[in-house]
Each structure stands twice: as structure tokens, then as C-alpha cells.
Amino acid sequence: MKQMLPLMLLCCFLATTNVHAQSDNKLMSGIRWLQQRLDSSAVRSVDPEYIEVPKQPWRVILRTKLNKTDVETNNLNDFQQNRFLLLHMEFNSELGTSSGFWVGYRGLGLGYAFKLHKNAGTNFTISSTGARYGLNFRWQRYRVKEAYLFMIGVDGEEVDGGEGDIEFLTPLSIRTLFVNGYYVFNSRHYSQAAAYNQSVIQRRSAASLLAGATWYASTIDLSAKHNSGLVAFGDSLGRISLRQANIGIGCGFNVVPARGWTINLMLMPTLSIYDCVKRVRYDCNYDFIHDDEEDPILVDDYGEWNPETHQWANGERRKPIEIAGEEVNWLNDVDTWESRTDRHNDAFKFNIDMRAGIAYCWSRYFISANAQMNKFSYGRDNNLVKLSDWYVRASFGVRL
């Protein structure tokens, strides 16, 4: 919200000058000076043969957006010699659907969107574009209720496995933060904004070399006590976080097949210069086992659980529990806690920032559609996580 406030104030002040200009007000004079600076900068830095700067500086845009974040995990739980469990899970968040509006002056603007269904997650974005630069901020949070699970267990020479869809009693939490900035070297002839927010209009086809930087952070949290069995079989991983900084060099292409049309494609390979993975492992007061009719486990002498000492009354830290069947009332008695945390800085990694957009402008109106996809992966020892994050957005706007 702190980053959002200055843009809100700026937009409010700029709008006020168009309706209630006060020559004696120093603040209003300063705002008009800023308007003039933005207007002159927009015209001065571009070649009018290639880029047209509309006379109407304000834009009001209606937007509809689809977005999704998918996660895959692979965890190898090595119990002892010749006995291990491989657990593969795919967490597919529900398709996020939102609609809203965006109001801006030249390259500055602020938007608000509301969810169209309950489980679409939370999404917040801020963007700013100029002739030579672009900045984007995107924060998302999802609650995942279902996952696809594939499991292979090896016990000596015996191999057993299974697969299927599972539903979590307590949804998992997935949070992502994406901050991206780029610099356009051929800003006189090429504009990213022409395809993505229509602050300018591309009149002739052009291309440019781009330099970019990205900060990405994500956290996957499945540490709720009702998911303790899943955590135990997943090498005790209850929460995993990634912080990654990337820099890259890429290219952007604007193709103008006909008057008013702009088709954009941007591809930027990036190299991580900072890649930190944090893994938080959890322990619990139960030892999850499969039902064995020939050798049943007796658990009558464990007594009460002491959450302060993390021990049962007989001194044991874990009580065996059979997980076969559909009975889950025992989950209410599960106690979980963080057992250890480790951080690792990984070597350089390559990622790809890819975007595509199309826009059509006529008179004071315009329509556009664009998409972006990012893929990240991180792993350490017996754990591997892959995350894909994408969105598709359609817009209709008018210049004022």
C-alpha cells in the first residue's frame, strides 16, 4: 500500500487540475508543471514517424484478466537402506478471473480489479511505463484445495505405488511476488507501451534490444496440522520459499501489419544473480504407518500428549497411527512444530521472461489482449519444486 499511495495521490491531483485549475495555488502550479514535463518528455523522446503520442493524455480502461499459478513437487523420503518413498504432487490452483478498471495519465496509472468467483485468489498489480523504461509489480495469493498425487514406495525388493486426486482438509497457501523492470535501447522507434497500455501508438514496425531485471519471490506453505501426514511422507517439508534476482538481455518486436494494429513479442533470457532457497521442516506427534493385520501396532500405553515437552506420557515423541481407511478424526489431535530450517544459495540459473500482445486503435478508442508467462524451478538434495505463473488479459479503453 505504501507504493500504491503516491500513484493514487498523483492521479487525483492530475485529475483535479483538469476541472478546478487554480492559478494562485502553488500546489496546483506544481502539478501543472509536472503535467507539462510528462507531455514534453513523451513527445521529445520519440520519432513521430514511428511512434505517435496521442493528444489526449488520459486513458480509462476496462480490463478482464485470467491468471493461474501451478506448482509441481518431487520429494524423496529415504527412511533407511533399501526403503524409500518418492512423492510427486501437482498443485493446480483454480483459474483466477477478475475484472476492473485502470486510469492513467501518459505512462502513469493505477488500477483496481475484483474477483469474479470466491476461490480466484488475490491479485494486486501496479505498472508504470515511459519511452525508455517499464516497471511492473504483481502480488498473488492462492488457496489450493486439491492436488494430483503420484507415489512410489520401495521396501527391500518390493515396489508399490499409487496415484489419484486428493482433497486437503486445510487448503495449501501459495504466494508469489513478481517485480520487473526493463530498459528500451531503441526508444525513439520502438515502444513496449504501444501493445500493453496504449499510452502511445506504434505507426511503423520496429524492434529494440532490451535490458531487464526481475525480483521473484514465492512461498508454498502446507504446514497446517491437517496436512501433517502429507508433510511426513514429503521428507518433512512443510514450507519452502524462494527469493531470486535475475538480469537479462532480450529483444522486443513490434509489427504493424495495418494502420492501427500493433503485434508485440518480447523474449528475454535471464540469469539469476541471487538465488536463495529456504526450507522449513516440520515434526509431529504421530508416526504414520500402513495397516498391517499380521503385526498390529499397540498404542494403548502412550497416555496424554504434552505440547510443551513434545512427548507422550510414556516418554515417546511419536505415537504410531494407521492411515488406512477414511477415518480422519485423529487429525484433530495432531500437534505440529518447526523442527529445523536451512537456507541455500544456488548456482546461476537460466529463466525466461516471455510476453506477447496485440492492440488495435481507432479514433479515441482501443482494444488489446496480452499474455505473460514465467517459469521457475528450484531444488536441493531430495526436494525439487517447479512453478509456472501466467496470465491473459483483455482490455477496452478510451482516451480523454
CB 249 within 8 A of CB 196: no
Q: Find the radius of gyration of the CA atoms of the chain.
A: 27
From the number of C-beta atoms within 10 Å of its C-beta (0-12, 13-18, 19+), residue 24 rates as exposed
How far apart, in whole angstroms, are the C-alpha atoms of residue 166 and residue 154?
Answer: 22
- The angle at the Cα of 175, spanning 174 to 176, to the nearest 5 degrees, equals 125
pLDDT at 354: 85
Q: Residue 379 corresponds to which amino acid?
A: G
Q: Total domain count for the chain? A: 1
pLDDT at 61: 93
What lies within 8 Å, CB to CB, of 377 at 6+ separation is: 349, 384, 385, 386, 387
- CATH code: domain of residue 258: 2.40.128
CB 50 within 8 A of CB 190: yes
Answer whether residue 320 is part of any domain.
no
What are 193's three cell numbers? 507501451
Beta bridge pairs of residue 201: 52
What lies within 8 Å, CB to CB, of 232 at 6+ separation is: 284, 288
Domain of 262 in residue numbering reads as 55-285+334-399
Chain-centroid distance of CA 129 in Å reads 21
pLDDT at 18: 54
DSSP codes, 44-57? HTS-TTTEE--S--
What are 355's three cell numbers? 510476453
Walk along the chain (400 residues) in steps of 10 and give the mean pLDDT of each run. Answer: 46 50 61 62 77 89 86 71 70 78 79 70 74 83 80 65 76 86 92 86 95 90 78 76 90 94 92 87 75 54 80 81 60 77 79 88 93 76 77 92
Answer whether residue 122 is part of any domain.
yes
Q: Report the SS3 class of residue 131.
A: coil
Answer whether residue 88 is part of any domain.
yes
Residue 260 backbone dihedrals phi, psi, to 5 degrees: 90, -15
Answer whether residue 117 is part of any domain.
yes
What are 53's three cell numbers? 503520442
What are 327's three cell numbers? 477415518
Answer whether residue 12 is part of any domain.
no
Q: What is the pTM of this model?
A: 0.72
Q: Residue 249 corresponds to which amino acid?
A: I
Q: Is 140 left (phi over 0), alpha (psi -120 to 50) or beta?
A: beta
Answer whether residue 32 is part of any domain.
no
CA 43 vs CA 31, 54, 93, 130: distances in Å: 19, 9, 44, 11
CB 113 within 8 A of CB 65: yes
Alpha helices in the chain (DSSP H): 4-19, 26-44, 193-196, 228-233
